[in-house]
Structure 1
Amino acid sequence: MLPFNGGTITLDCGLVSLKANDIIETFAGVVSDLASHLNAPQISQLTSVATSVASGVQDLLGAGDAETVLYLHDAFDASTLTSGHIFLSSLRQDEVEPSEVWMSRDGAVRKEERGPYKALRPQDYIVLRLEVTSERDDWRSISSIAKPLDMTLIYRAQGDAAKARSNLEQAIVAIFSSPELTDLDKKRIVEGIRKQLQNPLPGLIAAAEENRSADFLEIAAKSVSSSEAKAVAEATFSDVSNEMMRLI
């Protein structure tokens, strides 16, 4: 899940036909290399994933005779990027009726008006699925925010206000500077933390000696909707920090 902070998103993909005896072995090596990087959710850790993808594609394309069958290059902005499917076909445009191409549990199928589902005509094709969301629900994966918030709860429960404020300030800095969050996400999590500090759920702070940051972040994220966050006035880091410090 990547944040959209304005500008243009470019989508490039293709379908390549390969002919080689050792393609399975090469493919297995590429998959194994990619799998070793898939436990890194933060954008700052995705460079290694991108490098593996590029290297893997080169390995596959160099494994034997390769022929590009389909290729897509398109760009989207905030007004045109929507959830849905993109269907690429090797057939000519006048040979494919968009209204007859449907997605089923078994993949792409053809359905004429009032008729049954049928297999697609023989062709090379790609189906891409885009999912666009207005908010994140994986706050707990952002360790630069979760860890200082965890310590904020612990020190607050222990009555050490100075250390609690210090860690809370670290969390606020991480929120404002995080490339993983859109401006709306930042407002949502700040407002959620504010609400939870003002009215903590029974037992949440009392049990802070345990690792509760994941619970805290999840509750905070769910406590403020996108519409509520949009209604909150813009605030500077200094304004937010000063107000939050008073809640400790």
Structure 2
Amino acid sequence: MASWAAIKDCFDKDRQHFVYLRVDPARVVGRAVDPAPAKAGVHYFRLWLADMHLSKEIAWMKELIPAVHSVIQLDFGGRPGLEIARIADTSALKAEEGATNIISRNRLLTPTLPFQGGTLAIQAGLLSLPGKNYLGGFLKTLSSFSMLLAAPQVSSVLALAAPLGEGIQELLSGDAGGRLHLGVLESCAADDLRSTYIAAIRATAGQIRPDSLWVVDDRLYTGNASDRAPLTGFDHMLLRLELFTERDDWDQLKSIAEPYAAMLDALGEGDRGRAESSLRQAIAAALKAPELTQADRRRVPEALKKRYVESLGALRLPALGDLGDEQHAAFSGADGAALGGASDVGLGALLRDVTPAEEAARQGELSLKEALAGI
């Protein structure tokens, strides 16, 4: 995608002005950072803007408009090197304007994405754009547009990726006058991909010693272990790359969550045929969801089938075979109470009692025949 090359060119031209480093986990206070490397098919990742500080020595919001961008390049859904871009203006970042600076903290830059192996490349940065032309309105449009690409079900909105990348490239074109003010460029294979903080500071190593930097409660500090203070006086941004195995957004994966909810509704009504059909739909969606790791494409069907069998037992429905007309009528008035409140149990809760992610990944891909066995 053209936006990747355009931003990289800006980064290469200006990186000599930056202090740029991964922060040592031993110098992070207030949040545990697991230094273990990512495992393909097991881990998810997402990128956060932990802290951004802009000094008003530059006339931000008057002469220049700040915008934070990110571009992730990864293997996704059988598409190697797919680029997923995002850009946010200050309103989308909910930046706080004080008497002396502009601050934004803990803003999500990417949706939850699976690491499927290969190389993960990350660009992120602060763009400075002229504030006295059409760019303000154009930037807001791109920012609103890019919010759609932050959806957990990212595969449903991938058609937006290319036009968004072209819009970011236009911001950086010579006519538009945009430039990279601060930037991060990382490329990681599995052995080097791990949870970390990445700092970029608009300063030279002579002005800020890299070995004086700390992260305290997701803010960049300078000093030593016994005497440190928040970094001020220099524009800077602090990114947090987070690795994890357990998603926290299951109910927003509609292709799975909606048929799962329909299954519970049908069971509550005693309609086993409709419940079984919804279960099959949820399992099939999980098996082909590119948003899931290989481990979760095995664990989710396992969890759904387990919940289905438990629900049949709670309602005293037979686990196999079809219900006769009289049996169907006997359960058709059920309101779901026999499920013990199960209709309120989200997908995330179901995964607490199934095979751990690393073990599931070792078992390999799950076939549709295997996933539907016993239903």
| Conserved? CA contact 2:283–2:304, under 8 Å | no
Deviation of 1:9 (Å): 1.0
Structure scoring higher RCO (CA < 8 A, sep ≥ 6) equals 2
Q: 2: CA distance between counterparts of 1:213 and 1:142?
A: 17
Change (3 A) 1:47 1:75: same
User: Quick one: which amino acid aligns to residue 303 of structure 2?
Assistant: G
| Conserved? CA contact 2:123–2:183, under 8 Å | yes
Deviation of 1:4 (Å): 1.4
User: Please, which runs of 5 or more residues in structure 2 have no aligned partner?
Assistant: 1-111, 318-333
- Quick check: 1:116 aligned with 2:228? yes
- Quick check: 1:84 aligned with 2:215? no
Name the structure 1 match of 2:294: 183
Deviation of 1:100 (Å): 1.6
Q: 2: CA distance between counterparts of 1:119 and 1:228?
A: 39
Alignment RMSD (CA, Å): 3.6
Q: 2: CA distance between counterparts of 1:8 and 1:169?
A: 34
Q: 1: CA distance between counterparts of 2:347 and 2:230?
A: 47
Name the structure 1 match of 2:21: none
Change (3 A) 1:114 1:218: closer
| Conserved? CA contact 1:146–1:214, under 8 Å | no
Name the structure 2 match of 1:238: 369
Name the structure 2 match of 1:151: 262
Local SS of the residue matching 1:82: coil
Instruction: Give 1 or 2: higher helix fraction.
Output: 1
Q: Percent identity?
A: 28
Local SS of the residue matching 1:132: strand
How big is each residue's C-alpha offset from its partner over 1:195-220, in whole Å with a ceiling of 9 and x where there is no partner? 323334968x95449xx766352431
| Conserved? CA contact 2:196–2:241, under 8 Å | yes
Name the structure 1 match of 2:280: 169
- Quick check: 1:12 aligned with 2:123? yes
Name the structure 2 match of 1:221: 351
Instruction: Give 1 or 2: higher strand fraction.
Output: 2
Change (3 A) 1:152 1:27: closer
User: Quick one: which amino acid aligns to residue 153 of structure 1?
Assistant: L
Change (3 A) 1:207 1:85: farther
Deviation of 1:90 (Å): 4.2
User: Quick one: which amino acid aligns to residue 241 of structure 1?
Assistant: L
Deviation of 1:38 (Å): 6.4
Deviation of 1:57 (Å): 2.7
How many residues matched?
A: 240
Deviation of 1:176 (Å): 0.9
| Conserved? CA contact 1:146–1:171, under 8 Å | yes
Greater displacement, 134-143 / 88-97: 88-97
Q: 1: CA distance between counterparts of 2:278 and 2:250?
A: 17
How big is each residue's C-alpha offset from its partner over 1:49-99, in whole Å with a ceiling of 9 and x where there is no partner? 535643553454468533334443321233322222101234445664433
* Structure 1 runs of 4+ with >6 Å offset: none
Change (3 A) 1:48 1:25: same
| Conserved? CA contact 1:83–1:131, under 8 Å | yes
- Quick check: 1:50 aligned with 2:161? yes
User: Quick one: which amino acid aligns to residue 85 of structure 1?
Assistant: Y
TM-score (norm 1): 0.75
Change (3 A) 1:76 1:207: farther
User: Please, which runs of 5 or more residues in structure 1 have no aligned partner?
Assistant: none
Q: 1: CA distance between counterparts of 2:126 and 2:267?
A: 55
Deviation of 1:110 (Å): 0.8
User: Quick one: which amino acid aligns to residue 360 of structure 2?
Assistant: K
Local SS of the residue matching 1:12: strand
Aligned equivalent of 2:178, options 45, 54, 66: 66
Q: 1: CA distance between counterparts of 2:230 and 2:269?
A: 66
